[in-house]
Structures are given as C-alpha cells and as structure tokens.
Amino acid sequence: MKGLKKGLLSLMLLSALGWTVAPISVGSALADNTAPAKPAATSAPAKATAKKPAAKKAAKKKVAKKHVRHAHKGAPVFVGSIAHIDMNASPMTITVVKNKGKKSESVFGGDLSSRTLIYKGRKKVGMSALQEGQKVVVRYHRTHSSIAVTAIHIH
C-alpha cells in the first residue's frame, strides 16, 4: 500500500511540474530491444513551458515586494511648517503648524527619538538640519501615551 501511495504522489508531482508520463509496455520494449517511443521529446517542451509560469511567479513576487515597500508610507502624515523644536526636553519634541494665523489653524506635536529619520530631498540629514519656519512633512504613529515621529521630510 505504501508503494502505491508513493507512486501516486510521484505521478501527481510530475503532473504538477507539467511533465507527461507516457506508458511503456514492458514486454514489447524487452522483446524488440529498442528505446521507448520518444518520451523525452514529449517532456522537453513541457519543461520549457513550466519555466514561463515560474518567471510570472517571480514577477508577482516583485510586485508584492513593492507593495510591502510602500506599506510604511501609509502611515499618517501632517504637513506644515515647524513652529518650535525643543532639543533639550526629554524626549525631544517638535511642534508643526498648518495654516498659521488663520481660522483653520492646526497644530501637531510629537516626540523625536534617535530612530527618527530626517530627509532633505532624498538625502538623510541630522537633527541639526531642522530649523523653525521650514516646511515639512511629518510621518508619525501613536504610542500608548504620546505621538512618536518616525520620519520628517524637509521641503
């Protein structure tokens, strides 16, 4: 029974790979002393077609990686200009204002850490690049007790 199961599993594996198995009559092959009637020729094109879906799967994986790469960009953002930076506080804080002096003024405050990434264009810069009045895009996430700034993009 175990041999039958192994044989069926191997046939299922071969068919999943796209290989065809041609039946060989043992009596006629031994009597004629000849090779089987071209089973290798039928399996070669099947292997070539089996490689194409693998290439498509690889392309799908690349697309999936792109989505993963952009997944962190779905974090909440706040766009405005820096109103105040307190580097001496523990933790360091930043205050960003949108529509300053208007009725629809919005104020954002968050904590900076050593893991906060700061970009000017596509280049990473340090905390010293932050100045009051700069227009910025702030990416953040909420923690248990505060708002942690994950990245700041200076414009």
In this predicted model, what pLDDT tens digit does every residue of 14-46 receive, in sequence order? 666 666 655 555 554 445 555 555 555 554 555
In this predicted model, what pLDDT tens digit does every residue of 124-138 receive, in sequence order? 999 999 999 999 999
Q: Which of 17, 40, 74 lies at the terminal end of a domain, its last residue? A: 74
What range defines the domain where residue 82 resides? Answer: 75-154
Give me the CATH number covering residue 91.
2.40.50
Considering the chain, what percentage of its residues have pLDDT values greater than 70? 54
Look at residue 10 and tell me if it is in a domain. no
Domain count within the chain: 2
Rounded distance between C-alpha atoms, residue 45 and residue 43, angstroms: 6
Judged by phi (left if over 0) then psi (alpha if -120 to 50, else beta), residue 51 lies in alpha
Look at residue 17 and tell me if it is in a domain. no
At 21, phi and psi to the nearest 5? Answer: -115, 120
Alpha helices by DSSP H, listed for the chain, are: 2-16, 26-32, 39-71
Q: Residue 58's pLDDT is what?
A: 55
Look at residue 146 and tell me if it is in a domain. yes
pTM of the model: 0.52
Residues 54 and 119 in one domain: no
Look at residue 21 and tell me if it is in a domain. no
Residues 148 and 80 in one domain: yes
Place of tokens 């962190």: 72
Rounded distance between C-alpha atoms, residue 11 and residue 34, angstroms: 25
Specify whether the CB–CB gap between 93 and 109 falls below 8 A: yes
Residues 115 and 50 in one domain: no
Residues 109 and 52 in one domain: no
Residues 101 and 146 in one domain: yes
